[in-house]
Amino acid sequence: MDAYLDSVLTRNPTRSALGPQCRVTVNAVLAGPEETPPIDDFPALQIFSDPAQGGVVVAGAARVAGALSPYALRLRVENEHIVEVEMLLSRTSHGHFADVDQLLSPDVLYDAPVPARRASDREGLQAAADSYWTALQESDGSLAKFAYRCDRFDNGKKITNNLSILASPEAAVLTCVSGLYATRPARPVARNRRFPILDVSLGVAVSFVLVDFNPNALIKLPGMTHYMLGLFKIVDGEIRSLDEVTEKLPFGAPAVW
């Protein structure tokens, strides 16, 4: 991963161990190794690995043309060669559901080991994380395994229990549970769910997913697809914290992984 990130900054793909048949996508579109965005710096990244799957993921912020953007990157490695590159670079840095500046101080919670008696096995990590995508698809917050202290962050912004959202025209008090019920008008579909990182010692699950939010003419809601990374901290079999990096795609965008 370090070598690949260096190759991105130097615009030189040969500086990383790309396999001859390496598959590359940028925001869910197939690309060549030389077609990645011109990133100038990675001021803040967290890195997670899963040797059992040959997976490594970073999440945080990238600087592009002087501006910060939410960023995520997944590599899969086989025989010391990179065979898959999946890059997510969001164009939504500020707004109701984004505050990229907050990504400059990554939450140390994700780096903290989970005591063995409170840890989940790999299957438990995936089940807890997947319960969130199922609850989103069903717009039923009761289906997600949220811990009492759980909060959710989108592109760096704290979405739950945030006074600025209460003071907005939406005037909603969002909790992890109520935020899922609020998606009912869009009838979301969470598809292409993948879990490239399941780290038992850290209690971390990383997921990539496509979520289709269907149009609703009654409330003038356009259809759109969100391409998302979900970073889950899981303790006692429950989601203790959730960070999402999200980019909007055309509605119904095809799955390329």
| Cα–Cα distance list, 119 to 77, 242, 245 (Å) | 26, 17, 25
How large is the average pLDDT for residues 199-228? 92
- Name beta bridge partners: 67: 64
Please, which residues bridge with residue 84 across strands?
23, 76
Residue 248 CB coordination number (10 Å): 15
Helix (H, G, I), strand (E, B) or coil at 212: strand
The whole-number pLDDT of residue 15 equals 86
pLDDT for residue 217:
74
- Whether 21 has a pLDDT exceeding 80, the answer reads yes
* Cβ within 8 Å of residue 251, ≥6 positions away: 212, 213, 214, 215, 222, 223, 224, 225
pLDDT of residue 213: 96
**How confident is residue 14, by pLDDT bands cut at 50, 70 and 90?**
confident
Reported as a pLDDT band with limits 50, 70 and 90, residue 172 is confident
Rounded percentage of the chain residues whose pLDDT exceeds 90:
86
Secondary structure string (H, E, C) spanning 34-72: HHCCCEEEEEEEEEEEECCCCEEEEEEEEEECCEEEEEE
pLDDT in tens, 239-254: 999 999 999 999 999 9
Walk me through the domains of the chain, giving residue ranges and CATH numbers.
Answer: 2-103 (3.10.450.50), 113-249 (3.10.450.50)
Instruction: Kindly report, residue by residue over 36-92, the tens digit of the pLDDT.
Output: 889 999 999 999 999 999 999 999 999 999 999 999 999 999 999 999 999 999 999
Joined tokens for residue 192: 């292409």
pLDDT tens per residue across span 117-163: 999 999 999 999 999 999 999 999 999 999 999 999 999 999 998 88
Q: Which of 4-18, 24-38, 197-211: highest mean pLDDT? A: 197-211
pLDDT at residue 6 greater than cutoff 70: yes
- Cα–Cα distances in Å, from 247 out to 1, 104, 178, 209? 22, 19, 22, 11
pLDDT, position 219: 67
> Would you state the pLDDT for residue 122?
98
What pLDDT does residue 171 have? 63
